[in-house]
């Protein structure tokens, strides 16, 4: 049985990441978006790899002393196996080592799995962004986690 490995995203991973995006989001990011993210010194992208297969990934941007999570996704068949948790743990470690003081994100208010995931890691709700998401139109909950 292969173990899940968390490692930095590479350009060769993008084809698999695009397939995960399509399975997980109504407005998937494009290939160009990920190519640009990998060139961005302030962006951190990690993948969860099982054997040769990418089963999940997560991204964040460093903005001064805060990190903004851009996306977290796990292929549906691999959910509820702690994979997103491993990705978040890695990102929290990166933040702790980079003197980041807080992490933040937006999440659809109906996205209970994601909200529970973030709460499990100490994120707390701190307001809403009305009509933030399209397809379907929905408010975002803003969540924060203090670091250090």
Ligand X SMILES: CC(C)(COP(=O)(O)OP(=O)(O)OC[C@H]1O[C@@H](n2cnc3c(N)ncnc32)[C@H](O)[C@@H]1OP(=O)(O)O)[C@@H](O)C(=O)NCCC(=O)NCCS
Catalytic residue at 118? yes
CB 66 → ligand X: shortest distance, Å?
A: 17
CB 20 → ligand X: shortest distance, Å?
A: 8
The residue annotated as part of the active site, out of 44, 45, 57, 118, is 118
CB 147 → ligand X: shortest distance, Å?
A: 19
Identity of the residue, 67 or 74, whose beta carbon is nearer to ligand X in the bound complex: 74
CB 46 → ligand X: shortest distance, Å?
A: 13
Identity of the residue, 81 or 104, whose beta carbon is nearer to ligand X in the bound complex: 81
Query: 58: exposed, middle or buried (C-beta count within 10 Å: 0-12, 13-18, 19+)?
Result: buried
Catalytic residue at 106? yes
Identity of the residue, 100 or 123, whose beta carbon is nearer to ligand X in the bound complex: 123
Long-range CB contacts (< 8 A, 24+ apart) of 99-102?
99/65, 99/148, 100/62, 100/65, 100/66, 100/67, 100/147, 100/148, 101/65, 101/66, 101/146, 101/147, 101/148, 102/65, 102/66, 102/67, 102/144, 102/145, 102/146, 102/147
The residue annotated as part of the active site, out of 106, 109, 132, 138, is 106
Phi and psi at residue 52, in whole multiples of 5°?
-95, 0
Positions in the binding site for ligand X (CB under 6 A): 24, 72-74, 79-85, 107, 111-114, 116-117, 120
Question: Which active-site residues does the annotation give?
Answer: 106, 118
């Amino acid at each position: 049985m292969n173990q899940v490995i968390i490692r930095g995203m590479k350009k060769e991973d993008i084809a698999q990441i695009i397939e995960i995006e399509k399975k997980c989001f109504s407005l998937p990011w494009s290939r160009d978006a990920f190519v640009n993210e990998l060139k961005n010194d302030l962006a951190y992208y990690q993948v969860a790899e099982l054997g040769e297969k990418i089963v999940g990934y997560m991204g964040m941007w460093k903005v001064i002393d805060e990190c903004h999570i851009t996306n977290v996704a796990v292929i549906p068949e691999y959910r509820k196996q702690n994979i997103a948790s491993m990705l978040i743990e890695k990102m929290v470690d990166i933040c702790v080592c980079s003197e980041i003081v807080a992490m933040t994100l937006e999440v659809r208010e109906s996205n209970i799995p994601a909200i529970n995931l973030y709460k499990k890691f100490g994120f707390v709700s701190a307001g809403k962004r009305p009509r933030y998401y399209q397809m379907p139109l929905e408010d975002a909950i803003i969540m924060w986690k203090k670091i250090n």
